[in-house]
Amino acid sequence: MTATLSTTEHDRNIAGLKYIYPVMSRRAGGLSIGINFNPNNACNWRCLYCQVPNLVAGNAPEMDFKRLEHELRHFLDYVQHGTFFQDFKVIDSQQIIKDIAISGNGEPTSLKNFSQAIQLIGDIASGYGIFPNSKFVVISNGSLLHQSNVQNGLKTLASFQGELWFKLDSATVAGRKLINNTGQSQQKLLQNLQIASSLCHTKLQTCMLHYRQQLWTDNEKQVYLQLLVSLQQQQISIQKIMLYSIARQSYQPEAEELRSMPSEEMHTFATEIAALGYEVSVSD
C-alpha cells in the first residue's frame, strides 16, 4: 500500500478492505480507524454535504461478522506491528491510534445486529490494548434510538467507556429538513437525545455551512442556543459540542451551492455556546 492520509481524504477503500479504513480525523486529532457498516452506500437521511457517491435510501446490509473480525485483527496488527505508518506517510507526531470510529457510508445504527457488532469490535480492540487508551466512538444521526437493538448497542458501547457523536445540524424542524432531508420533529429529537444521554456519553456534532442564504442564519443560531439551554433544564447531559464545516467534496446534487462556514464565524458561535457552560470545540 502506498497512499498519503490527510484530513481532506476519507476514501473508504484506501486500505483495500470492506469494513475497515484509516482516517486522519480533524475532530479526533489524529489517526482514526473507521469501521463502515454501510458498504452499500445506504442511509435513512440524505445530508446536503454527504461525501458518499451514489447514496441510496436504505439500511445497512447483513454483516459478515467473520470478515469484520478478520479485517479488524489484520488491520490492528498492521498498525501496531507492521509498516502502516510508513506506507501511509503518517508523520511521527500522529503515529498513534486516537479512536475506533463506527461511521462509514450510511447510518450505522440501521445494522440489524448493531449490538453484536459493538461487542465484537470492543472485545477485539480491548484484546489489542487499544481501549481504554483510545476512544470508542459511534457517529450517528440518532434517528433510530427508539429501537431496542440500538439501545443495547449503546449500553455495550458504554461498557467500553465509548461515546456517541450525535448529529445535530439544526435545532429547527425546517433546518433539519433542508440540511438532512428528514422530517424529524422537535419532540422526537428531544426524546432521542434523552435516550442517548441516559445510555452513554453523548456529544453533539454540528456541521455549519452556508447554502442559498438559508442555513445558519442569525435566527437558526439563536434557536440552537435556546435548545442547548432547554437540554440543561431537562437535565439531558451533553458532554461536548463539536462544531465543524465542510472540508471535502459533497456528492449530492446541491454540492456546487454549498459554502464552508468561515472559521471566525464558527469561533464566535463557539464562544456563545461556551457562555452557556458547555465544552465546545471547533474543527477548522
102-119 pLDDT, tens per residue? 998 999 999 999 999 999
CA distance 266 to 120: 37
Q: For residue 167, give the C-alpha cell.
A: 448529529
Other C-beta atoms within 10 Å of 260: how many? 17
CA distance 241 to 166: 10
CA distance 95 to 135: 15
- CA atoms within a 13 Å half-sphere pointing along the CA-CB vector of 7: 13
pLDDT in tens, 137-167: 999 999 999 999 999 999 999 999 999 999 9
Mean pLDDT of the chain: 92
Could you say which DSSP state residue 94 is in?
G
Note the pLDDT of residue 3: 61
Do the beta carbons of residue 140 and residue 146 sit within 8 Å?
Answer: no
**CATH code assigned to 20-283:** 3.20.20.70
Q: Where are the domains of the chain?
A: 20-283
Write down the pTM of the prediction.
0.92
Note the pLDDT of residue 265: 96
Sign of CA dihedral 171, 177, 181, 182: positive
Note the pLDDT of residue 8: 47
Counting as low any pLDDT under 50, the low residues of the chain are 1, 7-11
